[in-house]
Structure 1
């Protein structure tokens, strides 16, 4: 049981952000190519992840994007960042993008 409604809201907020990040990553990859999307699904599957898990495991997203796009992965990160610009959640999105960009 969560003792304070604020904590429950924070948990809901984290889940919502995770879902939004997952949808955005999936959308960006589909816009690039079905092959890129399918490769990401394969890599995430190897880690027992779905797109919604990407927010909590940015290091795996970073690895996957490098595997898929090589040195050009940062342009994909920029597309993801642009799509997430409207989501303002206490700099958590900026932190996620920074970790994915390493």
Structure 2
């Protein structure tokens, strides 16, 4: 059974990785994605772990087909954890 603390750690990790990748693209990209997540879904980066489809949709709206490069960078940063089912599930939805 997965403890709440393990879930909170995964949630924080996903949030950190997503924000870091977007910040590497540019502060404007980070701010734009964050703003759109909140305006459209009333969620924050920390909610993307539970709702990767929201993040995928917003990334596609902003970057078009270029969103694949963003999701690939997120996937690369999480490569060591892809064997964990929750992380694998997040990546499957995000990268589909």
Q: TM-score, normalised by structure 1?
A: 0.84
Structure 2 unaligned spans of 5+: none
Structure 1 unaligned spans of 5+: 1-6
Tell me what 1:48 maps to: 42
Query: Does the alignment pair 1:27 with 2:20?
Result: yes
Q: How does 1:7-22 map to 2 (within 5 A)?
A: 10-22=3-15
Tell me what 1:91 maps to: 85
Across the two proteins, how many residue pairs are aligned to each other?
Answer: 95
Task: Report the aligned-residue RMSD.
Answer: 1.5
Q: TM-score, normalised by structure 2?
A: 0.89
Tell me what 2:68 maps to: 74
